[in-house]
Structure 1
Amino acid sequence: MMARRARIFLSTILLSAAFADAAAAHTFGPASGAGSLAWAAFTAAALALAAIFYAQGLRRLWARAGAGAGIRRWQAAAFAGGWLSAAAALLSPLDQWGEELFSAHMVQHEILMLVSAPLIVLGRPAAVFLWAFSPNGRRRTGRFFSSSPWLAIWRPLTHPLGAWTIYATVLWAWHAPVLFEAATVRNDVHALQHATFFGAALLFWWAFLDAGHGRSNDGIALVANFTTAVHSSLLGALLTFASSAWYSPYLETAAHWGLTPLEDQQLGGLIMWVPGGLAHLIAGLVVGARWIGQERRGPVPDRAGGGK
């Protein structure tokens, strides 16, 4: 047991160091420096721990129940895809480019919110992480996440209406010029921006993708997804058709890439508007078709514990 824990700890340190070094090599601009390196190291450690816990939990689950049992192979692949895309968004040169181009910053956020978050949710990380603990640890953790105090917090957050509200608030608030500009010049605000975008997206996709498992609010989830596509596309359209650039930190840096600040903003708005809206539309059609098929086959019993 101690040897296995030591190997896990060592793997975490090695992966964190590798990611942090890669990120530091590509960091420059107003948000660079020691704070940026610390954020890269923290992000790398968090990603490394998530990968290790998922791999450990999946290994134990499949060793007990057989490969593909409980968590299907495609779900494990979805988690891997979400993990890799999050690492690419946060620790690749894309993070550097986002300091000089609003459109690159938009690509980074779209990857986190529309690629990484739903793929990770499809991988059912809560169930897999639980198996990373010892049997006693699983029982204690399961009791905590089934307790009334926790469910009193978790259920409103993952109800489609609650998740929709959080997602919309985070999306629109961070695109207010005063907050967005603060995130481009301060590492702590930049880290908070990434964390809230990703956290809100995880809650939203958890509510949407998990709501089809016997809950009575499937219709609410579909409406929440549709209206999210509408209001995020509206924000993208406002950015695209604005008569002037909104964010002063990009007034000079966009020229380094052969773009005017307004062209850079318009490109970012189009990225939010078209691919972003299309992602929500496709997700709604796929999940809606799946739920219609479930209705034809008969009701599925509700699952306790908020989708665990």
Structure 2
Amino acid sequence: MRRPLFLSAAVAGTASPALAHDAGSAVWTSWFGDPPVEALLAILLALYLTGLVTMLSSRHQKWAVSKGRVLAFFAAVLALVLALLSPVDALSEELFSVHMFQHLLLILAVAPLLAYSNGHLVVLRAFSISTRRSIGQAIAAIPGMKQAAHKEVAAWIAAGLFVTTMWFWHIPAAYDWALGNEAVHVCEHITLLVAATFFWRVVLTSGKRRLSPAMAVVLVSLVGIQGSFLSALIMFAPHPLYAAYSGNGLDDQVLAGVLMCIPASFVYLGSTIWALSRMLGNSRTHVR
């Protein structure tokens, strides 16, 4: 009998047969079971749609974002639903490999799509001009914010925060802490998503203000290398690293490391090639 979810089939061999059977049988009942996440997502969608309608109904204002960026925002929402409101979330409590897949969805799918979408520009249109000005003034009043918007050091800070967040939440004590406390678990997901979105935003805007395409190549390569190192530590650990998954055996942990290494490597490689192509394109323009 085929399993109802491809992911459960992929990880079934990594856990005990009983665990795999239980995870598969309950998978269809695990959609939309987190009211706080659903409420926050509903608010975000309401603000975005309001802002989008406001832009479309304006005759004198151009779109703040392209249609491709609008599609990117909705793709990010779908990926967020898959990560946090689908059977993936339920299975992540039983299988480390699925929990890793959930984290990868957040940092390699949701975050870059949000960073590319310029969704914040659309959301701001849901508010009045005076409110938007107040928000802008409040952000500008944050110490160092104006300087960070145009300084290259901001890119390195973004990369450092992303790497630090990744490593912190994969320390066994911190990981088990998050699994044992729902509030901490929510904090884990939020910090991973925010740090990753900040990082990808810096990469995607390279060449425009704070980061040159050449430095973007270096930055993404360094982040990719440290990610591979972290995945190797997980893959080749001689014993289970996380108490919550210690009963699953090492196969589940090895699969988690493989998932962390291979998909992430392709994303980082693609980002490096993209930044490199922009760098070469700029060089040819200057030569002409």
Q: TM-score, normalised by structure 2?
A: 0.81
State how 1:147-296 maps to structure 2 within 5 Å.
Answer: 147=141, 149=143, 151=145, 155=149, 159-252=154-247, 254=248, 261-296=249-284
Q: 1:130 aligns with which of 108, 115, 124?
A: 124
Shift of 1:157: 11
Question: Identity over the aligned pairs, expressed in percent?
Answer: 30
Provide Cα deviations, 1:44-75, integer angstroms capped at 9, x if missing partner.
12211111111111222233258983311111
Shift of 1:289: 1.6
Q: Is the 8 A contact 1:160 1:217 kept in 2?
A: no
Q: 1:58 aligns with which of 40, 52, 61?
A: 52
Q: Is the 8 A contact 1:236 1:269 kept in 2?
A: yes
Query: In structure 2, how many angstroms separate the alpha carbons of the residues matched to 1:297 and 1:144?
Result: 39
Q: 1:26 aligns with which of 21, 30, 33?
A: 30
Query: In structure 2, how many angstroms separate the alpha carbons of the residues matched to 1:69 and 1:291?
Result: 28
Q: Is the 8 A contact 1:167 1:200 kept in 2?
A: yes
* Structure 1 pair 294–83 and aligned structure 2 pair: CA distance change class (3 A): farther
- Output the amino acid matched with 2:30: H
Q: Is the 8 A contact 1:57 1:129 kept in 2?
A: yes
Query: In structure 1, how many angstroms separate the alpha carbons of the residues matched to 2:60 and 2:221?
Result: 38
* Structure 1 pair 216–242 and aligned structure 2 pair: CA distance change class (3 A): closer
Shift of 1:137: 1.9
Query: In structure 2, how many angstroms separate the alpha carbons of the residues matched to 1:145 and 1:82?
Result: 24
Please provide the CA RMSD for this pair: 2.8
| Structure 1 unaligned residues grouped into runs of 5+ | 1-22, 28-36, 255-260, 299-308
Does 130-139 or 78-87 show the bigger shift?
130-139
Q: Is the 8 A contact 1:157 1:163 kept in 2?
A: no
Query: In structure 1, how many angstroms separate the alpha carbons of the residues matched to 2:85 and 2:223?
Result: 28
SS in 1 for 2:127: coil
Aligned length: 259
- Output the amino acid matched with 1:101: L
| Structure 2 unaligned residues grouped into runs of 5+ | 1-26
Q: Is the 8 A contact 1:158 1:206 kept in 2?
A: no
Q: TM-score, normalised by structure 1?
A: 0.76
Provide Cα deviations, 1:8-28, integer angstroms capped at 9, x if missing partner.
xxxxxxxxxxxxxxx9x539x
